[in-house]
Amino acid sequence: MQTFKFLRKKNDQRVQKCFYKCNANNRITKVVREIYLRNDVSCSIEKCKVCENKKKKLLDGDRNILILDTDTIIKYIDFLYECNIDNILIPLTIYEHIRTFNKILYKKLHELCYEIDESIPNSSKRYSVFVNKYCKFTYVHDNIKYDLKELQEIIKIVIWFKHHNPNLNVTVITSNDLLTNDCVNNGIPCFSLLDYVNQFLKKKTKNGLNNYGYNDNMLSIETIKMYFEDNMITENDEDKNVENRNEGNDNSHLNDLDTTQNDLENLKYKKKIYQPHLDKKQIIQGLRNNQFFKGVFQVICVNKMAIVKINDYEDVIIKGYKNMNRAIHNDIVAVEIFSQFNDPSYDDSDYFEELIDPDEKEEEEEEEEEGGEDEGEEGERANDGEEKKTNNMNKTACISKSENKQSIKTEEGNEFIECKKLYGKVIGIISRSRKEYGGVIKSCDNDKNNKYIEKLLFFKAFNSKIPHIIIKSNMEEELSNKRVIVTIDKWDFNSKYPLGRCLSVLGVCDDIEAETKLIYNEYNISTKEFSESAYLCLPPSDWVIPEEEFSKRIDFRNILTFSIDPPGCQDIDDALSVEILEEENIIKVGVHIADVSYFVKQNSALDLEASKRCTTVYLTNQRVDMLPKLLTTDLCSLVEKQDRLTYSCNLHLIRI
- Could you count the other beta carbons within 10 Å of the beta carbon of residue 365? 10
Within this chain, do residues 515 and 542 fall inside the same structural domain, yes or no? no
Percent of the chain whose pLDDT exceeds 70 = 73
349 pLDDT above the threshold of 70: no
Q: Is residue 13 part of a domain?
A: no
pLDDT of residue 122: 74
Burial class of residue 598, CB neighbours in 10 A (0-12, 13-18, 19+) = middle
Domain-terminating residue out of 225, 250, 282: 225
Confidence of residue 419 (pLDDT cuts 50, 70, 90): low
Within this chain, do residues 545 and 459 fall inside the same structural domain, yes or no? no
Instruction: Report which of residues 249 and 484 the model is more confident about.
Output: 484
Its sign, for the CA torsion 61, 66, 70, 76, is negative
Alpha helical stretches, state H, 443-542: 476-479, 512-522, 532-535
Query: In angstroms, rounded to a whole number, what is the distance separating the alpha carbons of residues 311 and 27?
Result: 18
Q: Is residue 610 part of a domain?
A: yes
Terminal alpha carbon distance of the chain: 67
Query: In angstroms, rounded to a whole number, what is the distance separating the alpha carbons of residues 42 and 313?
Result: 53
By mean pLDDT, which of 131-145, 246-260, 319-333 is the weakest?
A: 246-260
- Half-sphere exposure of 518 toward its Cβ, with a 13 Å CA cutoff? 22
20 pLDDT above the threshold of 60: yes
Within this chain, do residues 518 and 537 fall inside the same structural domain, yes or no? no
pLDDT of residue 307: 92
What is the mean predicted confidence (pLDDT) over 167-195? 90
pLDDT of residue 21: 76
Within this chain, do residues 475 and 553 fall inside the same structural domain, yes or no? no
pLDDT of residue 504: 84
What is the mean predicted confidence (pLDDT) over 612-628? 88
212: CATH: 3.40.50.1010
Domain-terminating residue out of 488, 522, 556: 522
Percent of the chain whose pLDDT exceeds 90 = 27
Within this chain, do residues 582 and 562 fall inside the same structural domain, yes or no? yes
Within this chain, do residues 560 and 518 fall inside the same structural domain, yes or no? no
Q: Is residue 48 part of a domain?
A: yes
500: CATH: 2.40.50.700
Q: Is residue 315 part of a domain?
A: no
Confidence of residue 410 (pLDDT cuts 50, 70, 90): very low
Domain-terminating residue out of 190, 225, 260: 225
pLDDT of residue 420: 66
What is the mean predicted confidence (pLDDT) over 187-215? 70
By mean pLDDT, which of 122-131, 213-222, 426-435 is the weakest?
A: 213-222
Q: Is residue 576 part of a domain?
A: yes
267 pLDDT above the threshold of 50: no
Q: Which residues form the domain of 449?
A: 434-522
pLDDT of residue 602: 92
Query: In angstroms, rounded to a whole number, what is the distance separating the alpha carbons of residues 628 and 607?
Result: 11
Q: Are 456 and 470 in contact (CB under 8 A)?
A: yes
pLDDT of residue 375: 46
244 pLDDT above the threshold of 90: no
Within this chain, do residues 517 and 542 fall inside the same structural domain, yes or no? no
In sequence order, what are the beta bridge partners of 59? 45
Within this chain, do residues 186 and 55 fall inside the same structural domain, yes or no? yes
Q: Are 38 and 12 in contact (CB under 8 A)?
A: yes
48 pLDDT above the threshold of 90: no
pLDDT tens digits, one per residue of 283-325: 988 998 889 999 999 999 877 899 998 887 788 999 988 999 9
The DSSP H or E segment spanning 425 is strand 422-431
What is the mean predicted confidence (pLDDT) over 354-370? 53
Within this chain, do residues 641 and 503 fall inside the same structural domain, yes or no? no
Within this chain, do residues 164 and 109 fall inside the same structural domain, yes or no? yes
pLDDT tens digits, one per residue of 421-441: 889 999 999 888 877 899 998
Q: Is residue 187 part of a domain?
A: yes
Q: Are 279 and 335 in contact (CB under 8 A)?
A: no
pLDDT of residue 231: 59
Q: Is residue 322 part of a domain?
A: no
The rounded mean pLDDT for the chain is: 77
Within this chain, do residues 605 and 584 fall inside the same structural domain, yes or no? yes
pLDDT of residue 348: 41
What is the mean predicted confidence (pLDDT) over 73-90? 85
What is the mean predicted confidence (pLDDT) over 26-34? 80
Contacts of 444 (CB under 8 A, 6+ apart): 355, 356, 358, 453, 456, 457, 458
Tell me the three state secondary structure of residue 140: coil
Phi, psi dihedrals of residue 364, rounded to the nearest 5° = -65, -40
Nearest to 42 by CA among 153, 161, 148, 151: 161
Q: Is residue 541 part of a domain?
A: yes
* Total domains in the fold of the chain: 3
Confidence of residue 469 (pLDDT cuts 50, 70, 90): very high
Within this chain, do residues 496 and 574 fall inside the same structural domain, yes or no? no
Q: What is the DSSP string of 552-616?
A: HS---TTSEEE--SPTT-S---EEEEEEEETTTTEEEEEEEEE-GGGTS-TTSHHHHHHHHH-S-
